[in-house]
Amino acid sequence: MTELLMKRVYEPASPDDGFRVLADRLWPRGISKDGAGIGLWAKDVTPSTGLRQAYHGGLISWEQFAQRYRAELLDGPALDEFAAAISDKPRVTLLFAGKDTEHTHVRVLMDAVRQKL
């Protein structure tokens, strides 16, 4: 079974990360594509632009954001495709750029992927 971890993309890469996946729609500022050690950029499993903007703009709460994001993940094929792409990897680290490690879409994504795997 695939072990899922998460960390900020600005933290140094480590061999313990396993397969590194950037789970952000936008490429993080100041990170070079060559030196990031990212095996997959999974834009399709990130929150829609409208949902992301509503949350960051304070129009919806974290709970509303998480609920709507889960619905987005379950509505389309992206989650199944992503789960299939990482299912043969023993350890996957989902990387994100945001500073808030508690209220990050990656936590919602990890839960959804675990249910699929």
Task: Look at residue 1 in the predicted model and tell me its pLDDT.
Answer: 81
Q: H helices then E strands: how many in the chain?
A: 4, 4
Decide: pTM greater than 0.85: yes
DSSP state letters, 55-105: HHTTSS-HHHHHHHHHHHHHHSSHHHHHHHHHTT-SEEEEEE--S-SSS-H
Q: Is 90 exceeded by the pLDDT of residue 117?
A: no
- The percent of residues above 70 in pLDDT, for the chain, comes to 100
Phi-psi region of 92 (alpha: psi -120 to 50; beta: other; left: phi over 0): beta
pLDDT at 36: 87
pLDDT in tens, 59-109: 999 999 999 999 999 998 999 999 999 999 999 999 999 999 999 999 999
Angle of CA points 59, 22, 60, to nearest 5°:
10
Collect all residues with Cβ–Cβ distance below 8 Å to 35 and sequence separation of at least 6. Answer: none
